Structure 1
Amino acid sequence: MSFLVIGECVADVVRAPGTADRVHPGGSPANVAYGLARLGRDVTLLTQLADDPAGRLIGDHLRGAGVRVEVGGLPERTPSAVVGLDAEGRATYAFDIVWTLEAGGLPARAPAHVHIGSIAAVTAPGAAAVLTVTERLRDRATVSYDPNVRPGLMGEHGSAVARVERCVALADLVKASDEDLAWLYPGEDPEAVATRWLALGPAVVLVTRGAAGSFAVTRHHTVAAGAPRVDVVDTVGAGDSFMSAALDALTVRDRAALGALSAGELTGLLARAGAAAAVTVSRAGARPPDRAELDAAREDPAGT
């Protein structure tokens, strides 16, 4: 099964108390593409990279894992983010990003699945190209979406919610964090929001809750899974690793089959995706597991 991921690359400047700054390749969609490639999947990333040191670092990182990189227009500089880590490894972000993706023609390789999300799906002017390509491909490919909310870049709240919900309506599978939902719908129960999103179009909604685990909602089932115990180094890329492992687990599914997943299948999906996130938070930067590491983590979920 081939994947097309559309979205931003970001140079993450990781800043933690008492340590020197570290620069890691990042950007949520780029992390998902990298995670899929690490799991041996055929994946193309449609993105923007400048011809600068950060752009070359990220491009080499992605291609080194086997990601095909297609560039839709050259920005003046590669986007960056200062990632601040607190004493428990939780991340906050300050972005320097311009997103001007050009739609152009369809990718040379027709994908079986399209993944969109984060800054690229809601930030003008490039978001229009993301949605245009996704809509062109949706008749022949399934679609997933991760809002990966960054409040400082979302603009006015009401219009931001509308942009997110448009992407939700395009998707067959949506993954969001409880923090995403708390910003989008303050005071609302995450499970109620996930159920309401199903009415917009998706067959499956996954919600991550950090150390509290995750849950999945379909029209037939609601299931939950705990998170593996792990010593957290930092949380950068954890949700993206969860997303890539979830997509990897669903590669034999078509649109109709997604909605027919059994409770046991959903529970297994959450457990595998949670294990991938746990491996990622156990080491610095957005470094998702390869297949052997993920299989080992599933065999020893407590990390003992």
Structure 2
Amino acid sequence: MAPMTDFLVIGECVADIVRSPAGPDVTHPGGSPANVAYGLARLGHRAALLTQLGDDPSGELIGAHLRSAGVELLSDGQQGVATPTAVVTLDDQGRASYDFDIHWTLRPTGAPTGIGHVHIGSIAAVTEPGASAVSALAAELRSTATVSYDPNVRADLLGDHGAAVAKVEECVALADVVKASDEDLEWLYPGEPPADAARRWLALGPSVVFVTLGGDGALAFTGAGEVRGEPVRTEVADTVGAGDSFMSAMLDALAERGLVGAGARPALGALGAGELAAVLRHAGTAAAVTVSRAGARPPDVAELRAALAG
């Protein structure tokens, strides 16, 4: 594994085979952690992705896509793995549903040096046998790096509900920053208001919990209270990658404020309402750019600056 990388993302790549009423299937590089790494690199950060890619056309497509933004690809050295796939079916409003063919078998591997922040999430954080390696590496790096987590719930892959909730909560307890959608929380805690679920998670240890509400904006929760981010209006092409774009831009906003790295934990925990509102606007604007075009295509620095100015 390579040294001196600012952000380390650990998790799956997925070839998204997008199926829509409008035309033929189109394959896009995807996978929530891969999208976050790509988004961070597009926003000018040094980012590495510890993942599993097959020696197959989908693996070649995804690898080239990630490297084009400057993402450094790391592996556990396993041979013979297959690149995961997902058939992404879009309805006539651009909303996505997923049918996965994915296996996650990441083996324990040594920690790189120079990491300021670790991001984990989605399928890789909860699917064994690889999930244990993800948690162990995040826990090891936590002594010097901040950690973020996005459950990105894929219910069809999670099995027993109670066991899935317990695993998600273990990941939440590892993290300093957590982001979840209102749909994630509804699956995890049926009938419980998102604000109650977010406060439940704060009690497990994170400094900040962000909840995205789709077209209704987003919320941020800290020990001091709740801040609402208003929705950023745009014409929606599809919603693929919107949450991942929010996540990478949110981390970008925190990094701009010097709030990554273990030494930043006290300041992260003391974030005020004005700063949180600015972070929510930054992240929400990035997500709005992403949903305005097909596939998980987050903005680069210039595009995000222009969108924020507009």
How many aligned positions are there?
299
1:132-281 counterparts in 2 under 5 A? 132-251=136-255, 252-253=258-259, 254-281=264-291
Alignment counterpart, residue 288 of structure 1, candidates 281, 289, 298:
298
Contact kept in structure 1, 2:52 and 2:81, CA below 8 Å: no
Distance in 2 (CA, whole Å) between partners of 1:104 and 1:198 is: 30
| Residue in structure 2 matched with residue 298 of structure 1 by the alignment | 308
Do residues 80 (structure 1) and 82 (structure 2) align? Answer: no
What secondary structure does 1:29 align onto?
Answer: helix
**2:30 counterpart of 1:26:** yes
Q: TM-score, normalised by structure 1?
A: 0.97
Identity %: 65
**Which residue of the other structure, out of 59, 63, 70, is the alignment partner of 1:59?**
63
Q: Deviations over 1:224-269 (max 9, x none)?
A: 0111111100000000000000000111111111110010000000
Q: Is there any run of 5+ residues in structure 1 with no aligned partner, and where?
A: none
Residues 118-166 of structure 1: CA deviation (Å, up to 9, x unaligned): 0000000000110111111111100000000000001100000000000
Letter in 2 for 1:49: L
In structure 2, list runs of 5 or more residues that go unmatched. none
Q: What is the match of residue 134 of structure 2? A: 130
Give the Cα–Cα distance (whole angstroms) in 2 for the partners of residues 58 and 272 of structure 1.
27
- What is the rounded CA distance, in whole Å, between the counterparts of 2:79 and 2:266 in structure 1? 38
Instruction: Indicate the residue corresponding to 1:114 in structure 2.
Output: 118
CA contact (8 A) 1:144 1:171 kept: yes
- TM superposition shift of 1:221: 2.6
The separation in 2 between residues aligned to 1:103 and 1:258, in whole angstroms, is 30
1:38: which partner in 2? Answer: 42
| Secondary structure of the corresponding residue to residue 248 of structure 2 | helix
- Normalising by structure 2, we get a TM-score of 0.95
Residue 103 of structure 2 corresponds to 98
Equivalent-residue separation in structure 1 for 2:25 and 2:133 (angstroms): 34
SS in 2 for 1:206: strand
Asked if structure 2 preserves the Cα contact closer than 8 Å seen for 1:75 and 1:100, the reply is no
In structure 1, the residue corresponding to 2:250 is in which secondary structure? helix
